[in-house]
Amino acid sequence: MPLMKNPASDDKARPAVRYVTVGEEASGQRLDNFLVKHLKGAPKPLIYKVLRKGEVRVNKGRVKPDYRVKEGDVVRLPPLRLADAAEPGLASTALKKRLEDSILYEDSGMIVINKPAGLAVHGGSGVSLGLIEALRQARPEAKLLELVHRLDRETSGCLLVAKKRSALRSLQDALRNHQVSKTYLALVKGHWPKRKRFVESKLEKYELASGERRVKTSDEGKLSRTEFTVLGYYEVAGLECTLLEAMPVTGRTHQIRVHAQSLGCPLVGDDKYSDDAFNEAMQKKGFKRLFLHAAKLSFPLPVAEGAAIEMKTIEVELPDDLRVPLEKLPIKNK
């Protein structure tokens, strides 16, 4: 007698097409970002692949990844076999308190937080818990908490988090329209020429054999531009260092780090784009991590249509792990 299939187990083994109706909280979000949330565990290349193939539909029609979903849209999600997305780790009471204590500015629509170095902005790629997940756990009553932009894990400083979908849309539009100004402090190897104010190049992402993601200058990459200003010169064990103010005009991954490295001036403590001998020498002087700090953030506050734009500027000083060893370095006047 042939074995009978268990219909329930067969249904479980075969994913089914799903239809999701967009709610008010997601209205205005890009479709690709909407899919990241609803196709948990799906890598972005797979999401873009099913979009190209027309397997994702909105109101029965094909749409592009940058389409902004609207309340009431019906999104068709294709049947994908995905690994179960790992639940975020639990944030400790100490971490939740630290984040609350790190808030630099807050209103009804947004938060500016002084991100600690060493904390990823979100979970993923082997990180079970990031800043945004911990902040959501600290504020379970919040209807929405979303990152407006990102900072590298080892970078400290100003980070924008939206509390409303309308604020998220407004701030992301401001980013695209170059109305948001970010200023970083960076300590680099070598003597940076004062007249070298701008670095412009094309940057391309690539992967090492280990799977680690990096960025390089390449004619195949995306155009990027950073403005640099020399703040001071220092000498460390016979090596010269330059303290820079860096203002990225574009927002590419690792942009400041790669632009500095392309001029032979990698950032102190950069384990991706600097050399081990230099980093070891700087560690002996007290620099234990990447010297990159988001010191100032200027952005337009969301206003009613037709109203005058009001700019908000938030500044935060260097944290002690960067400030204390920097103050001990001999200043070199040039």
Which residues fall within 8 angstroms of residue 259, CB to CB, at 6 or more apart? 199, 201, 224, 226, 228
Residue 308: predicted pLDDT: 66
306-311: long-range contacts, CB 8 A cutoff, minimum separation 24? 309/179
Q: What is the pLDDT of residues 296-330, one digit of tens each?
A: 999 999 766 666 678 999 999 999 999 999 999 99
Q: What is the pLDDT of residues 25-69, one digit of tens each?
A: 677 888 988 898 888 778 778 888 899 999 999 999 999 988 999
For 5, the token pair is 């299939």
Residue 332: predicted pLDDT: 86
Lowest mean pLDDT among 25-34, 129-138, 222-231, 283-292: 25-34
Q: What is the pLDDT of residues 265-299, one digit of tens each?
A: 999 999 999 989 999 999 999 999 999 999 999 99
Distance separating alpha carbons of residues 8 and 217, to the nearest angstrom: 52
Instruction: Tell me what the pLDDT averaged over the chain comes to.
Output: 88
Distance separating alpha carbons of residues 321 and 62, to the nearest angstrom: 51
Catalytic: which of 152, 173, 219, 270? 152
Q: What is the pLDDT of residues 192-209, one digit of tens each?
A: 999 999 999 999 988 887
Q: What is the pLDDT of residues 233-260, one digit of tens each?
A: 998 878 899 999 999 999 899 999 999 9
Residue 11: predicted pLDDT: 45
Distance separating alpha carbons of residues 287 and 279, to the nearest angstrom: 8
Opening angle at CA 245, ends 229 and 259, nearest 5 = 85
> What percent of the chain is modeled with pLDDT above 90?
62
Is 152 considered catalytic here? Answer: yes
Residue 86: predicted pLDDT: 56
Distance separating alpha carbons of residues 75 and 21, to the nearest angstrom: 6
Residue 7: predicted pLDDT: 45
Residue 89: predicted pLDDT: 80
Examine the pLDDT at 143 and tell me if it is beyond 60.
Answer: yes
| Domains of the chain with CATH codes | 15-77 (3.10.290.10), 93-174 (3.30.2350.10), 179-327 (3.30.2350.10)
Residue 20: predicted pLDDT: 86
Question: Residue holding tokens 């902005």?
Answer: 121
84 falls in which pLDDT band (50, 70, 90)?
low
Opening angle at CA 121, ends 116 and 124, nearest 5 = 135
Residue 83: predicted pLDDT: 57
